[in-house]
Structure 1
Amino acid sequence: MTEAPSPRLRLPSWAGRNYTLLTAAAVVTNLGSHGALIAAAFAVLESGGSGGDVGLVAMARTLPLVLFLLIGGAVADRLPRHRVMVAANAVNFLSQGVFAVLVLAGDPQLWQMMLLTALGGAGQAFFNPAAEGMLLSSVSGEQASRAFALFRMAMQGAAVGGAALGGAMIAAIGPGWVLAVDAAAFAVAGALRAFLVVAPLTRSEAGGGLLADLREGWREVIGRAWLWSIVLQFSVVVAVVGTAEAVYGPLVARDSLGGPAPWGLALGAFGLGTVGGALLMMRWKPRRMLLVGTLCVFPLALPSAALAVPAPVGVLVAVMFVSGVTIEVFGVAWMTALHQEIPEDKFSRVSAYDWFGSVSLAPLAMALAGPAETAFGRSSALWGCAGLVVLVTAAVLLVPDVRNLTRRTKEVTKAAPSPAARPADAVPAGSADAEGAVGRLG
């Protein structure tokens, strides 16, 4: 008697080899990195550092990220993106591994921690544009937003466990072992990404040097009001939210919440919220995606306000969950807009400008975190963070393209001329062209 074949897990038709490998690698990376973010802060504090020192280490990671992002984007549109990603993972493996050894050996110096985190930030500068370009090119058609939502749900689901486990591990065995786990995660993720299959990109224009590539990417960005305005918005949002969570959050946790475990729980709740937001976006496809996404940025002010009070752990966990849900709605809407509007051969360069704008103010904000706490008090500094999120998000809603950019109901050709390549009196970004392509401004 012939046995019935065992049931096999069936992936959706749009989840091909590259998409599956990218998702698996992102899960592994996030399991390690979210715990490591907490571990780095507590490694500084346990070595005798102050809140200002935590800010300096965070700044040391972000500064090279800002300096090398644009070059990383141009490189990722020239070389096979998966090779750039694997090389960057190797750099992060080495930097986190040495950081872990120093912490486990005892008495790491501030300059050593800053140097190693700076090396990791440089690796991320090349990794981020390549990874986003790779993901955007791994899916096509009307299911793109669902694919992005599933990817982000898997990635953020790993962050839930990583943050909660990281906080518990720091409390139980110290931050050094959490950093070691993160180094191992980079090694595994890099091995998975080595199996990606990448066809050579067909460039829409004759290639020049890196500077020519950067100018071409700049024209793509500046020709779309919705793109550059949201990038400017997030230059402030990322700076103040990142400062609140990377610098002030651990200090509030130490002084008022009972240590690293409750803060790890709060970060885990944020990750759980992002899973819920991604799950929502697998079913919901708002027509005016950027309008909906931008409205969902307002709740990012809530965690800073809760830390300013400071609110009880239960309240902090709740607001972190809500902000996680809403920022994930924005994230999926943003990726869908980029996938819909940007030519494939420019994905990484546009992503680099996006990342560059978004993190450009973060080093300054983190460096000023300690002086701001001294000058105004921690609570006032956190209320300032919350107020800036509300202010810049309200301002970006004044841009018509942000309110009106609509989702297309069918795929259009990626090689179509970009707004930056059209005459100045041509149709605005996101609108239908002369042939009547779907996706006009409503």
Structure 2
Amino acid sequence: MTSSVRSVPFLRLWCGNTASAVATWALPFILGFAVSTGAVDAIQLGILLALRATGFLIGVPIGGVLADRGGRRRILLVAGLIAAAGTLLTSLLVVGENTTEGFMLVIAGVILSGIGQGASRPAYQAIVPAIISRGSFQAANAALSLSARTTGLIGPALAVLIATTLGIGAAFVAIFVLWIVSGLLPPWPENDKGIDPGGLSSSSRIYRFAGDLVEGYKEARRHPWFFSGLTALSAVIAAGWSVTNVLTPQLSQAVFGDASLLAGTATAYACGAIGGAVILSNWKPTKRGWWALAGLGIYAVVPFSLLFSETYWIPVVAYFIAGIGAELFNIVWFTAIQQEMEESKLARVSSLDFIVSYGLAPLGLSVIAPLAVWVGTSTVLVAASIICLLAALLASAAQTSGSFSVERANFLGSTRPSARND
């Protein structure tokens, strides 16, 4: 039975999602804090963060398939417990000795944390239609996004506060509890049974898993707007987002001699995103696809503004505007996926979204710095702005991109009614 965003079931889902978001934001900062205590060095920190990201990319497709097969709520429980177990292993940074064996257990811990985080993402996106009525999807996504953006501001600060006042061990305990809450608190919808393959051998289950991923891809392929939008999103993340994450800290240090520009732009972006979530909680644009792609393309102002980083307020304002645009895209994008995709394949389509959009980020992050040395920082910033803008413009020209919607019957060339229920 579906209900509105003011219902107790959605409140429980919102709280569980918020708990997972705080835990997700907090762990990297606690790992960074561990460097200051001598528990790990900078090289080990880089390895742990990379392996956590690898675990995330592993967990996303697994979570997507199993959420559709075994029920989204069940996967939220399993994912929360896996991430909690990974947090306990990672806490050996504090209580264990800095030995090779101990560090290997910590590696296992961060991988498990990443897997749990990754598996929960498509499940959280796909469980919304089981709790919320169709007309309230956008408001629900705005509320979920608002919690994620707010925790992006308070999560790291809260984690560091706990670590400095109560000790780093207490911070790990807090993250462990948050993942337990994420796994236990969300409601159990009556119509979230999944599809149990039952009685399959190990080889058959592997074959079935691959087949499920292909089915999710085929479902996404029926919607031209999805792949055009996903391509644009991947380009913006790989170019614009990677450029700003690598070059903004460098410019902050080079121009101002400290992290003031980095802190100011990060805060402005988060505040803009919160504002965007508030706007989208009440506003439903008619040509939602074009509005969303415009919001995505407006990220072009961020790398362009860094050309004028000597004037502090220019990048800060640009980041604020980009934050509003990012939420305009994200909330409309998630809502369109939930409304347009076949519900039995929704988690798999969501996992495809996360894999592709996040998968190119490491490539962008790794090449930006040497590229800036080779051709110059200004050239890289201008190129990134052009890529962000062109990606959104090209995506907006694709079929059905204006509405992020397509009548399944018309697209397939038949009069068969849509498989989704309103």
- Both structures adopt the same fold (TM-score exceeding 0.5): yes
Distance, in Å, in 2 between the alignment partners of 1:107 and 1:256 is: 38
DSSP-derived class of the 2:146 partner: helix
Does residue 122 of the first structure (1) align with residue 115 of the second (2)? yes
Paired amino acid for 2:270: G
Distance, in Å, in 2 between the alignment partners of 1:227 and 1:246 is: 26
Residue of structure 1 equivalent to 2:226: 227
**Equivalent in 75, 78, 81 of residue 90 of structure 1:** 81
DSSP-derived class of the 1:73 partner: helix
DSSP-derived class of the 1:368 partner: helix
Q: TM-score, normalised by structure 2?
A: 0.78
Distance, in Å, in 2 between the alignment partners of 1:388 and 1:55 is: 28
Change in Cα spacing, 1:209 to 1:32, as seen in structure 2 (3 Å) is: closer
Q: For the Cα contact (< 8 Å) 1:38–1:264, is it kept in 2? A: no
Identity, % of aligned pairs?
A: 21
Alignment of 1:97-246 (within 5 A): 97-99=88-90, 101-102=92-93, 116-163=109-156, 165=158, 181-193=174-186, 195-201=187-193, 209-244=208-243, 246=245
Report the Cα offset of residue 23 of structure 1. 0.4
**Equivalent in 6, 13, 16 of residue 25 of structure 1:** 16
Give 5+ residue unaligned stretches, structure 1.
1-11, 408-415, 428-432, 438-442
Change in Cα spacing, 1:76 to 1:60, as seen in structure 2 (3 Å) is: same
Report the Cα offset of residue 357 of structure 1. 1.7
Q: For the Cα contact (< 8 Å) 2:91–2:106, is it kept in 1? A: no
Q: For the Cα contact (< 8 Å) 2:84–2:179, is it kept in 1? A: yes
Residue of structure 2 equivalent to 1:397: 396
Of 143-152 and 339-348, the range deviating more from structure 2? 143-152
Q: TM-score, normalised by structure 1?
A: 0.75
Instruction: Report the RMSD for the aligned CA atoms in angstroms.
Output: 4.2
Cα offsets for 1:222-245 (capped at 9, x unmatched): 111101111122222223345345
Paired amino acid for 1:151: L
Larger helix fraction of residues: 2
Report the Cα offset of residue 93 of structure 1. 2.8
Alignment of 1:360-379 (within 5 A): 360-376=359-375
Residue of structure 2 equivalent to 1:330: 329
Distance, in Å, in 2 between the alignment partners of 1:168 and 1:382 is: 35
Report the Cα offset of residue 395 of structure 1. 1.8
Report the Cα offset of residue 399 of structure 1. 0.7
Distance, in Å, in 2 between the alignment partners of 1:170 and 1:313 is: 31
Cα offsets for 1:358-392 (capped at 9, x unmatched): 12212322333454455455665455443332232
Of 76-85 and 98-107, the range deviating more from structure 2? 98-107
Change in Cα spacing, 1:256 to 1:87, as seen in structure 2 (3 Å) is: farther
Residue of structure 2 equivalent to 1:7: none
Change in Cα spacing, 1:166 to 1:394, as seen in structure 2 (3 Å) is: farther
Residues matched between the structures, number: 407
Report the Cα offset of residue 289 of structure 1. 0.7
DSSP-derived class of the 2:339 partner: helix
Alignment of 1:29-108 (within 5 A): 29-38=20-29, 40=31, 49=42, 58-99=49-90, 101-102=92-93
Change in Cα spacing, 1:236 to 1:309, as seen in structure 2 (3 Å) is: same
Distance, in Å, in 2 between the alignment partners of 1:253 and 1:93 is: 36
Q: For the Cα contact (< 8 Å) 2:89–2:108, is it kept in 1? A: no
Cα offsets for 1:3-38 (capped at 9, x unmatched): xxxxxxxxx845444322110112223334334445
Of 328-337 and 303-312, the range deviating more from structure 2? 303-312
Change in Cα spacing, 1:92 to 1:319, as seen in structure 2 (3 Å) is: farther
Report the Cα offset of residue 146 of structure 1. 2.0
Q: For the Cα contact (< 8 Å) 1:92–1:186, is it kept in 2? A: yes
Alignment of 1:404-419 (within 5 A): 404-405=403-404
Report the Cα offset of residue 340 of structure 1. 2.0
Report the Cα offset of residue 75 of structure 1. 1.0
Paired amino acid for 2:212: D
